[in-house]
């Protein structure tokens, strides 16, 4: 029996990012859920299926800062160790330093889907994708 795919929650208000990344990540064996607001992300995280295997988090969301969600995750026992990658165009050092202090991996926009997939594999401790994968 094959192991179930790793579940990623992508939290980004830019719909085109989710529509671009979801098929790419699914091609690489991940199951991807999308959330476009902090409220949607909180509902997904509180769902009956438990937390995802990893969270891809934008910092600028229409209903607040992804940094606030990251702080909440780190203060709760069930999500304290959840692997989080911050996907951001943010350039403010203090904000990026806070995300790193909270244990997030940083990836600045724009980025290639190939680089994202490699960074996710490293964050989750998975085998890296082969170089000939799309």
Where along the chain do its domains lie? 7-124
Q: What is the pTM (predicted TM-score) of this model?
A: 0.90
Q: What is the CATH number of domain 7-124?
A: 3.40.50.2300
What does DSSP assign to residue 26?
H
Q: Tell me: the pLDDT tens digits for 107-132?
A: 988 899 999 999 999 999 987 665 55
Banded pLDDT at 4 (limits 50, 70, 90)? confident
Residue 120, pLDDT score = 96
d(CA 37, CA 96) in angstroms, rounded, equals 20
Banded pLDDT at 88 (limits 50, 70, 90)? confident
């Amino acid at each position: 029996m094959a192991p179930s795919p790793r579940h990623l929650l992508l939290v980004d208000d830019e719909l085109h990012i989710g529509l671009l990344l979801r098929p790419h990540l699914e091609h690489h064996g991940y199951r991807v859920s999308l959330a476009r607001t902090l409220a949607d992300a909180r509902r997904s995280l509180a769902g009956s299926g438990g937390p995802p295997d990893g969270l891809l988090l934008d910092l600028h969301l229409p209903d607040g800062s992804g940094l606030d969600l990251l702080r909440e995750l780190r203060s709760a026992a069930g999500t304290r160790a959840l692997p989080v990658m911050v996907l951001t165009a943010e350039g403010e050092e203090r904000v990026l330093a806070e995300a790193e202090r909270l244990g997030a991996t940083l990836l600045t926009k724009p980025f290639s889907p190939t680089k994202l997939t490699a960074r996710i594999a490293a964050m989750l401790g998975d085998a890296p994708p082969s170089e000939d994968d799309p």
